[in-house]
Chains A and B, each alone.
Chain A
């Protein structure tokens, strides 16, 4: 008996299963909250804390001499120096709390000049360095003027290239996109598939002519649609409310959608792997955290990896989410061209290839 039966069509099953999975996700309040409300709350916080300036605050005690060239020049530099006048006690208190970078007291020196006494705090090294530089530059300039040098032997010209001030949101928003996509791809897929497995929804589906691959593809597609909706929502809120900068406008937007698609497909590999290995939520939870937490912390999602210890950096810079974040920042924060993201996409591709191969070897359907 060698009859040739018609192969069951998978196309309509694929579309309906994608729709069903999408419907199930959008009707689930938890998915909706974590997928859409959460990221907006996050970037709103980034937008607010990102608003600080890089001005340095210098305190001048009320009882100190105000009529010397140093203090007078200091007060004219309002572009990068804020002068705070207060009692010495209050200023010192502010200095300890880091609200003031340094306290300047100018006293006449023995040979008719001045001595600038700068008081700084060990509490804030960055501000200390800033105020040191500012004061030293100011004193050097003033010395030249006072010694009557109008044509100093060495001069410096500085040209500023077109650039924009990078705010925290410009750094954090790409991280938020990566965070959302990784969450959707891994948490959504793992707990979604395990539920279908445990509740025997999958087994019931296997009694129909719909193939397992069709079911997995439709699961992935529905996650992709959710992830893209998240990216678009984050970008719209970022651009409209917090003036997130897209270097090439719509083109950058489209490139971000393409990157998000690659990112989701890559991260899905992890989702399938964990969902395939685990029989229930209890087995899946630690695995899921093991894979996602280090990436959230180490991949430069919300703070730069430069601050991490040297030995950790090779690991941190080669995680899948790091590649995704670097690719996104390349075309947003750094204003680079799309082809500059290829090395990162290659890294992402290698990770996902490994995951998909492992998943296909280990997947358990029940």
Chain B
């Protein structure tokens, strides 16, 4: 991470729905090549912020620059440079994964090798399956495969692990790290603290439409401790999740 131009630059962004302010004048930057997390409770404005950057919603005020391109001025150019995974989005139920990937490639006006994409998300053996026959984890992985079709500079994952079992979650984190290693910047939202801590290089914590804190997870913890915060700690060398994973194994449970 050198001191390059940030890949995403959000300045004074505001989004209002009538009288309700969903996003309240926020500013932040995402550096090229990092995993950036937006953390916050439900209704904090995470998805709205993401969708404005993704060109899916229009900002009421403020400016968003993605990869040097102004989102409001050149949405079509931005769309071709990013990959988007939506919360709960599904696909044509009667099409196979290969057909769907070819369809997405055509929507970017490019050609791809669908099997190669499926391999990246460990779904080669599901090539001929229909999307609605996939398990939750498989569907999320496939959803991520569709974001990679156009070889994007940055991908956006909106709560990618919500509703997944611990194995599928760990597997998805692994996949996100793999994708990040190839140089793709990743912006994700989550409300799982562990996910934010494990996966994100930097975090923005959002609440009531505002960014209340921004920084690396470790720095945030250090700052909190430095302020004199003390958590009542019972020494607990293992958690219930450790028990669960110890008993059921870490390997993926997709069929």
List A residues at the B interface (Cβ < 8 Å).
1, 3, 5, 7-13, 15-17, 19-21, 23-25, 27-28, 196, 199-201, 203-210
**Interface flag for B28 (CB, 8 Å):** no
Within B36-95, which residues are at the interface with A (CB < 8 Å)?
54-56, 69-70, 73-74, 76-77, 79-80, 82, 84, 86, 88-95
**Interface flag for B127 (CB, 8 Å):** no
**Interface flag for B245 (CB, 8 Å):** no
A-B contact pairs, 19 of them (CB 8 A): A3-B69, A5-B69, A5-B77, A8-B76, A9-B109, A16-B103, A16-B107, A23-B94, A199-B89, A199-B91, A200-B88, A201-B90, A201-B91, A201-B92, A206-B56, A207-B54, A207-B56, A209-B109, A210-B107
Q: B79 to A17, Cβ gap below 8 A?
A: no
Q: A3 to B74, Cβ gap below 8 A?
A: yes
Q: A13 to B109, Cβ gap below 8 A?
A: yes
Given contacts A8-B79, A20-B92, contact A203 B106 (CB under 8 A): no
Q: A207 to B55, Cβ gap below 8 A?
A: yes
Q: B89 to A201, Cβ gap below 8 A?
A: yes
CB distance from B189 to the nearest CB of A (A): 15
CB distance from B53 to the nearest CB of A (A): 11
Q: A12-B109, A209-B80, A209-B109 are in contact. List 15 more A-B contacts (CB 8 A).
A: A7-B76, A8-B79, A8-B109, A16-B102, A19-B103, A23-B94, A25-B94, A200-B86, A201-B91, A203-B56, A206-B56, A207-B79, A208-B107, A209-B107, A209-B108
**Interface flag for B99 (CB, 8 Å):** yes
Interface size on B, residues (CB 8 A): 33
Tell me, in angstroms, the Cα distance from A336 to B89 when the chains sit together: 52
Residue of A nearest to B77 (CB): A5
CB distance from A18 to the nearest CB of B (A): 10
Chain B residues near A9 (CB, 8 Å)?
109
Q: B109 to A204, Cβ gap below 8 A?
A: no
**Interface flag for B173 (CB, 8 Å):** no
Tell me, in angstroms, the Cα distance from A199 to B94 when the chains sit together: 13
Chain A residues near B92 (CB, 8 Å)?
20-21, 24, 196, 201
Tell me, in angstroms, the Cα distance from A7 to B79 when the chains sit together: 11
**Contact code string B166-194 (vs A, CB < 8 Å = 1, else 0):** 00000000000000000000000000000
